[in-house]
Amino acid sequence: MSSLDNNDFTNVSLKVDSQITLNKPRNKGARKEHLKVTPMLDYRAQVIQQLIKQRGWSSLSRYDAIAAVYLFVRDEITFGYNSDDTLSASQVLKDGYGQCNTKGTLLMALLRALAIPARFHGFTIFNELQKGAIPNYLFTFAPKRIIHSWVEIYFEGQWLDLEGYIIDQAYLSQVQAKFSDQCEAFSAYGIATTCLKRPENDWQGKSTYIQKEGIADDFGIYDQPDDFYREKGSNLSGLKKIAFRYVLRHLMNTNVNRIRQRGL
């Protein structure tokens, strides 16, 4: 892949497969499986229970509890790359950062701990939207389609998509500052939206999105993320996985932190 600089993203447009139809059985209600504890959704872990108690989330209305947990995961668990997609929620919380899959695990666990039904929806996204977040010299290591997911919650009699938690506001604001007039299809820096200036990433009682426009494949809905990863695996294997875990992701996180702190 040729070298790119920041100006190369000014007119980035989406290359979305127009044939993708989201697999969403919306008429089916919540079940007990959507409140279950699993090895990944370990919401009975002490560190998670302490957080819930300290924040007072159990005393909030359902709407406000979703809002509080959503904002915590979006903005206090910053955007970054963990060692593996299958980390437990308690480990993601200890890490203090994450991406779509790992932040989603934490969000699901916190919501279930508050008796809010949540389930997993698996996808792939085009790697194009990671340009800029992943430095150019590392981009050749990225698979063309990357495992992606969002969380679905059962709220007021319907399932809603929550995806806007992936990118923290501090990081997003720096990208928005660089492309301040962008309200067309945008795909870069971990973001894929129809309007960068006004993305649908705030909880207002409806679905939220921040990478939806980069979806390539829809793998459907799973009650548990554990089941999805057992079936589909993760993005990398072999030597690439080892290199990612111990070297590459740290370089990627350095780049993301630089953008968050200094801008583009």
pLDDT digits (tens, 9 = 90+) for 131-176: 999 998 888 888 899 999 999 999 999 999 999 999 999 999 999 9
pLDDT digits (tens, 9 = 90+) for 230-263: 999 877 677 878 888 889 999 999 999 999 999 9
What lies within 8 Å, CB to CB, of 151 at 6+ separation is 104, 107, 108, 111, 118, 119, 120, 121, 161, 162, 163, 165
Task: Kindly tell me if the per-residue pLDDT of 17 is higher than 90.
Answer: no
Residue 245 confidence (pLDDT): 86
* Six token digits for residue 84: 């593996």
What lies within 8 Å, CB to CB, of 90 at 6+ separation is 42, 45, 47, 48, 109
Lowest-pLDDT range, 80-89, 97-106, 217-226, 227-236?
227-236
Residue 29 confidence (pLDDT): 84
Instruction: Tell me the whole-structure pTM to 2 decimals.
Output: 0.89
> Strand 78-79 relative to strand 97-98: parallel, antiparallel, unpaired?
parallel
Residue 259 confidence (pLDDT): 98
pLDDT digits (tens, 9 = 90+) for 189-233: 999 999 999 999 999 999 999 999 999 999 999 999 999 999 998
Contact in structure between 93 and 51 (CB atoms under 8 Å)? yes
Mean pLDDT of the chain: 89
Sign of the alpha-carbon torsion through 16, 21, 26, 28: negative
Task: Kindly tell me if the per-residue pLDDT of 8 is higher than 60.
Answer: no
Residue 23 confidence (pLDDT): 56
pLDDT digits (tens, 9 = 90+) for 53-74: 999 999 999 999 999 999 999 9
